[in-house]
């Protein structure tokens, strides 16, 4: 039964992916990407990865969609069809897919308990998490204590991303066509032209 739910959700994800590739309106693509993230979070719950599902739902479907929409607002909403032929890219994708199929043929069947990834370190973490750290959630204890250094690196990566975005978008002021500095009057005039924006205090 778990396997059946898993298969249905994965098939829905494949259909949404085809929609993302084919759709021309970028707004629709971003919304489909949000749907894709939610389906991925559901698949992760079916795979017993509850921490990861919560993170993927909040990050992938929440923050990622908001950032894409914010960028789309400034950039433009439509995907102009490409002038060059897609057949080279399609051939390359098929070759990569064939190589991946060849590589995953020998992987163990889904859900088996005696595979090598489940043998060496994982039973140690499961048995020693409560005696050594008194934390029942093994993912948290591994993330924060056993592999704490990796989480430190991840926090620094988030810091670097924030630093990079702030430098890119606040480091240099936006080039303005008008010579008059934007004051409240011009902002209100802009407002009258674009209906629906009501974020003026």
Site for other proteins in 144-183 (CB under 8 A): 144-145, 147-152, 154-166, 168-170, 174-175, 182
CB atoms within 10 A of CB 54: 13
- In whole angstroms, the minimum distance from the beta carbon of 163 to other proteins comes to 7
Of 9, 71, 68, give the one whose Cα is nearest residue 40. 9
Does position 92 bind other proteins by CB under 8 A? yes
Site string for other proteins, 97-126 (x = CB under 8 A): x--xx--x--xxxxxxx-x-xx--xx--xx
175 or 179: whose CB is closer to other proteins? Answer: 175
Of 51, 13, 29, give the one whose Cα is nearest residue 136. 51
Site string for other proteins, 1-40 (x = CB under 8 A): -xx--xx--xx-xx--xx-xx----x--xx--x--xx--x
Does position 48 bind other proteins by CB under 8 A? yes
- In whole angstroms, the minimum distance from the beta carbon of 192 to other proteins comes to 15
Spell 115-130 as b/e; 16+ CB within 10 A means b. Answer: eeeeeeeeeebeeebe
Does position 191 bind other proteins by CB under 8 A? no
Q: How many Cα atoms sit within 13 Å of 169 on the Cβ side?
A: 9
Does position 186 bind other proteins by CB under 8 A? no
Does position 72 bind other proteins by CB under 8 A? yes
Does position 49 bind other proteins by CB under 8 A? yes
Does position 188 bind other proteins by CB under 8 A? no
Q: What is the rounded CA–CA span in Å between residue 151 and residue 182?
A: 43
> Sign of the C-alpha dihedral, residues 127, 119, 40, 72?
positive
- In whole angstroms, the minimum distance from the beta carbon of 28 to other proteins comes to 11
Count interface residues toward other proteins (CB under 8 A): 124
End-to-end CA distance of the chain: 54
Q: What is the rounded CA–CA span in Å between residue 12 and residue 41?
A: 13
């Amino acid at each position: 039964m778990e396997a059946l739910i898993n298969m249905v959700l994965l098939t829905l994800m494949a259909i949404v992916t085809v929609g993302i590739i084919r759709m021309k309106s970028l707004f629709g693509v971003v919304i489909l990407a949000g749907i894709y993230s939610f389906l991925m979070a559901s698949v992760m719950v079916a795979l017993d990865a509850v921490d990861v599902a919560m993170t993927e739902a909040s990050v992938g479907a929440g923050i990622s969609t908001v950032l894409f929409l914010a960028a789309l607002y400034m950039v433009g909403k439509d995907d102009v069809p490409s002038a060059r032929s897609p057949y080279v890219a399609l051939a390359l994708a098929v070759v990569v897919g064939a190589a991946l199929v060849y590589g995953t043929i020998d992987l163990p069947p889904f859900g088996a308990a005696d595979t090598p990834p489940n043998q060496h370190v994982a039973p140690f973490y499961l048995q020693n998490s409560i005696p050594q750290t008194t934390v029942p959630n093994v993912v948290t204890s591994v993330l924060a204590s056993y592999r704490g250094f990796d989480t430190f690196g991840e926090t620094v990566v988030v810091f670097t991303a924030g630093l990079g975005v702030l430098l890119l978008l606040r480091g240099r002021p936006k080039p303005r066509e008008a010579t008059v500095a934007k004051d409240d009057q011009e902002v209100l005039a802009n407002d009258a032209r674009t209906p629906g924006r009501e974020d003026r205090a």
